[in-house]
Amino acid sequence: MIWNSKSMAVFFLKNYRKSSAFKYIIILFFLLGLLMSVLSIFFLNSIVSEFVPSSIKIIHYPKQILEDIYNFAWASIAIYLPVLAVAFFASTSISSDLESKNIYQFMTMPISKEEYLFSKILSSFVASIISVLVFIAMQFITYLLIFRSFPPLAFLNYVTVMILIIFTDTIAAMVFSSIIKKGDYGPLGFILFFLLITNVISLLISSMSGLNDSFIITNAQRLAYLVFLNVEPYFMVYTGSLSSISFNSELLLIYIQIAYTVAFLFILYSVFMRRGEVR
């Protein structure tokens, strides 16, 4: 199974790599990174000063505060990139094969439906990671330039969390891709899902139960944001602070993210395996 899936995933990745969509998304993320680098190198002190009362005159900001604000700024942009990347790659991966009839090329080969699905997940996931890593690499390089040292270990933690988010988003986007027959509707459907439907659902939950809506769906999606924004998620409530997020809170958020991944994976598998027009 692994050999077939790997062969197909490498092939799909090759197709992505040479596609216009991949080039555009890499350029877009690079330009975003460049903009953030310029902001960070030339305006970091000005941004930090916004957090300090005007009555206090500070000549030299402590490195820790500068680092916190730096991470805060980059993470607040980075959190939206996985959604954008998977909208390009994962949300069209199955639907475009159905639309272009390419899926029949694979269904008449000695491969299982699971192998095909796994290769699609793998290729979309890797393509999304590569594009998001362009931005994260620029964040890393800019950090080196500004602080003349390597980022703290939390940076590695942040990258890991981003990869987890990309994986969840990939699976969620592929659910759309397996439901929608027209390839073009996949990205639109997925972005609408994240921008509108998740908010509507959380608002509904909030109004029905009186709970803080942010906990249910948005918390899990904003995992990286929370890790680097140092926002402590107490039960149902956010509390902002400049101190680092606790290990337990981070673990809780990772659990929620994994739960989403498993749920989406189950839906994706059930939907795709039941498609009548392909074996």
Partner 1 sequence: MVGPNGSGKSTLLKIISGCIEGYLGSSFVDGVNIVENHKRCVRKIGALIENPHLYSYVNSYDMLQLAYKLRNGRNGNEDEIDNSLNQVGLMSKKDIQIRDLSSGEKKRLSIGLALVGSPDIIILDEPTNNMDAEGVSMFQRLINQLRDDGNRLIIITSHELDIIGKICDRLIFLINGQIRRDFIINKEGYFLILQTDRSANSVALRTFKTELLAEGKIAVLIENEDELNDLFRTISERGIKIKSIEKMTQAEFEYKKAFNQ
Based on CB atoms, which residue is closest to partner 1, 15 or 45? 15
- According to the binding rule CB under 8 A, does residue 11 interact with partner 1? yes
Based on CB atoms, which residue is closest to partner 1, 120 or 222? 120
Query: 242-251 — which CB contacts under 8 Å span 24+ positions?
Result: 242/65, 242/68, 244/154, 250/157, 250/161, 250/226
Size of the residue set binding partner 1 (CB under 8 A)? 28
Q: Residue from 102, 160, 207, 241 that binds partner 1 (CB under 8 A)?
A: 102
Could you tell me the smallest distance in angstroms from the CB atom of residue 96 to partner 1?
9
- According to the binding rule CB under 8 A, does residue 92 interact with partner 1? no
Could you tell me the smallest distance in angstroms from the CB atom of residue 256 to partner 1?
36
Single-letter code of the amino acid located at 230: N
- According to the binding rule CB under 8 A, does residue 8 interact with partner 1? yes
Cα-atom radius of gyration of the chain, to the nearest Å?
Answer: 21
* Spatial separation of the C-alpha atoms in residues 132 and 194, rounded to whole Å: 18
Based on CB atoms, which residue is closest to partner 1, 116 or 264? 116
* Spatial separation of the C-alpha atoms in residues 253 and 160, rounded to whole Å: 13
Helix, strand, coil fractions of the chain, as percent rounded to 5: 75, 5, 20
CB atoms within 10 A of CB 231: 17
Which has the closest alpha carbon to 268: 2, 130, 90, 106? Answer: 90
Q: What is the DSSP letter of 196?
A: I
Q: Residue from 29, 89, 106, 176 that binds partner 1 (CB under 8 A)?
A: 106
- According to the binding rule CB under 8 A, does residue 100 interact with partner 1? yes
Could you tell me the smallest distance in angstroms from the CB atom of residue 43 to partner 1?
39
All residues at 6 or more sequence positions from 173 whose CB lies less than 8 Å from its CB, including other chains:
86, 87, 89, 90, 91, 124, 186, 190
Could you tell me the smallest distance in angstroms from the CB atom of residue 107 to partner 1?
5
- According to the binding rule CB under 8 A, does residue 278 interact with partner 1? yes
- According to the binding rule CB under 8 A, does residue 53 interact with partner 1? no
**Of 107-166, which residues contact partner 1 (CB under 8 A)?**
107-112
Which positions lie near partner 1, rule CB under 8 A? 3-4, 7-8, 11-12, 14-19, 100-102, 104-112, 276-279
